[in-house]
Each structure stands twice: as C-alpha cells, then as structure tokens.
C-alpha cells in the first residue's frame, strides 16, 4: 500500500511512518513543520532503513496536496494527522483552529477523491465524548459538537464531514481513530514528542522537568474522586497507537467506521509521575496547583471494538512509556534541536 501521511513528521506521524514502513508499506510525508523538524523524517529512515520522502508544505492548500500526488502518487490511502492540537491555545485562537483543522480535511479529501484513493484515515480524539457518566467510553457513547474547546469541536466537526463523505462515496473506506493520551517514544530514542514552547501535555512536561529545562511539575488538583485524588486518564504508548493505524488501514472495508485507540486502563497523574521517576531513578520536583477549568475526574475508553475487528490491542505499559520517553529526552535534551 502507498500512503500519504499528512502531518507525518509530527509526534504520532513519525511513529506511524515507522510502523507502516516496518509493515512493508510505502509512505510519503507531508508536513509544514510548524510543530516538528525535518530531522524526524530523516530519523524515520534511519530507524527503518527505508525511504521516507518529506514534502514541506501546508496540507490545507489543495495545490500543495495536488502537487504531492503529481510528484509521488498515486496513493492508495491518506492518513490525516495534520492538525493544531493544543486545547488551551484553541481557546485563545478559535478561528485558527477551525480554519486549519477543517481546511486540511477539505483539501486532502477533495484531492484524494479526485485522484482515486481507496482509504481515508482520520486522527480524532477521545475528547469528542461529552457525557462523563458513559465511562468507559465506547464508540457508541454520547458525542457532541457542543464541547468545551475549539480543538475538540473541530475534531467532532471533521467526523461529521467524513461520515457524509463516506455516505456519498460508498466505495471508499473512511476510518476515524479516537485517540486517548499518547505517551512514550520509539525505543531507539531517535524520535519522540518535541512540542514547541512549554508543553501542554503532562508527559512531555515531566520530561522537560527531568532534563532540567522546566522547574517543577504542576499537579492540577488533588481532590478528585479518584483513588489518589488526581485525575485518571487513558495513556497509550505511541508505538501501540501507531500500530493501530497500520491495523486500521490493512483491515479497512468500504464505509465509515470509528475506533477507540486506548488501553482501557486509567492511570492517575501521580501514577504517571511515579513511573517517570522510576525511569529517571530520582524524585522530581512537583507542586499541587488549583484545578483547571473543564478537567474531569476520569477519562478512559473501552477499546474492545478495535480488538475484535482490527486484531489490535495496546500491549505496552506506563512504565514502558516512561522508560522510552526518558530515553528519547535524555538523548535529545532539546528535542530535535539537540542534533
């Protein structure tokens, strides 16, 4: 299978590129490098020993997507990972998020349909689920466009668009993957999460504290209705997540389908920090801060549909994720800029 990976040099994208190449597929990466480095593509090739051509360009620009097809196509499938993804930033820049996150889908889908792709795979989020009482979330749990932030809203809007696209193109495979919380890095230490500026997610923040570029870990609230008072989340190793993309592509059937990609095993904030401290071999500085608006006690999924239909199960533990994340960060203290 020949696959166009939009956002393919990013955190999830680079790991998915490795997984696809390891499975014998061919790939081309399309990325504007707004939150990553071209070095990620080079390291994908280094890990796999296979080419990972990178087109530097904006996936929301139909002319860029068309030119990529002209030069590197035809493609059998598009994997759409190109999106702005910081929840807090989306509250400050809603128009940027709606524009980018929807326009990339429109451009990739229009060109892909014109050029005869067979499969379209979209990276969505578990934050589209809107009723905490539904835990653990299944693919049939309540969703809404009336969500707490523009990032989540844009992802749910994309799902609606793609469901309609599948309805009028019945020969097309359209798969939506609802991620939970990707963590960890490739075991080689060559690729990992390298967010621009101060990280919005917990694991890369912990990594920066461990390497000394941030002062201490903030624990936002320790009075939740959970065993240790901190929030519970479904953290999935990014390599398991990447393998979920391969399974979804290889087993895709015509129509529209949604899968949760998570572990189904919630881990608390304190448990995640403790796992990283075990990996580092020392205690890390931390402080309890007030709760953040909109945070809930727990979020985790039931991934059994993916197990049944894709023969995919997340097998790596939170200790595996912490070990691999620290291997990446300690070898690359400034991320890809360390090279």
CA distance 214 to 106: 38
Question: CA nearest 284: which of 217, 199, 228?
Answer: 217
Cβ-based neighbours of 273, under 8 Å, separated by 6 or more: 206, 217, 219, 284, 286
| Main-chain phi, psi angles of 255, to 5 degrees | 125, -170
From residue 81, alpha-carbon distances to 59, 95, 224, 331 in Å are 10, 19, 32, 26
Residues 328/189, Cβ–Cβ less than 8 Å: yes
DSSP per-residue letters across 222-253: S-SSSTTSS-EE-EEEHHHHHHHHHHHHHT--
Question: CA nearest 17: which of 39, 38, 48?
Answer: 48
The three-class DSSP label of residue 257 is strand
Q: How many residues does the chain have?
A: 339
CA distance 203 to 176: 25
Active site residues: 151
- CB atoms under 10 Å from CB of 89, counted, come to 17
CA distance 96 to 92: 9
Both structure tokens of 86? 């910081």
CA distance 128 to 134: 12
From residue 101, alpha-carbon distances to 66, 150, 274 in Å are 18, 10, 35
| Main-chain phi, psi angles of 294, to 5 degrees | 95, -15
């Amino acid at each position: 299978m020949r696959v166009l990976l939009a956002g393919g040099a990013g955190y999830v994208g680079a790991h998915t590129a490795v997984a696809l190449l390891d499975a014998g597929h061919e790939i081309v990466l399309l990325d504007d490098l707004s939150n990553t480095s071209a070095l990620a593509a080079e390291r994908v090739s280094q890990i796999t020993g296979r080419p990972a051509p990178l087109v530097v360009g904006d996936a929301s620009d139909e002319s860029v997507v068309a030119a990529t097809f002209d030069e590197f196509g035809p493609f059998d499938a598009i994997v759409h990972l190109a999106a702005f993804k910081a929840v807090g930033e989306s509250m400050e820049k809603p128009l940027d998020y709606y524009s980018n996150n929807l326009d990339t889908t429109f451009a990739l889908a229009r060109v892909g349909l014109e050029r005869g792709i067979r499969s379209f795979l979209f990276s969505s989020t578990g934050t589209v689920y809107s009723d905490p009482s539904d835990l653990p979330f299944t693919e049939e749990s309540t969703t809404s466009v009336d969500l707490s932030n523009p990032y989540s809203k844009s992802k749910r809007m994309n799902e609606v668009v793609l469901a309609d696209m599948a309805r009028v193109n019945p020969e097309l495979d359209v798969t939506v993957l609802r991620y939970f919380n990707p963590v960890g890095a490739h075991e080689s230490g060559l690729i990992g999460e390298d967010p621009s500026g101060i990280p919005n997610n917990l694991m890369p923040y912990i990594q920066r504290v461990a390497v000394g570029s941030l002062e201490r870990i903030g624990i936002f609230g320790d009075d939740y209705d959970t065993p240790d008072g901190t929030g519970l989340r479904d953290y999935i190793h990014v390599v398991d997540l990447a393998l979920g993309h391969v399974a979804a592509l290889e087993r895709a059937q015509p129509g529209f389908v949604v899968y949760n990609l998570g572990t189904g095993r919630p881990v608390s904030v304190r448990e995640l920090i403790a796992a990283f401290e075990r990996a580092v071999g020392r205690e890390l500085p931390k402080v309890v801060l007030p709760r953040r608006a909109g945070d809930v006690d727990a979020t985790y999924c039931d991934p059994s549909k993916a197990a049944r239909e894709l023969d995919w199960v997340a097998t790596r533990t939170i200790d595996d994720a912490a070990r691999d994340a620290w291997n990446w960060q300690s070898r690359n203290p400034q991320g890809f800029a360390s090279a």
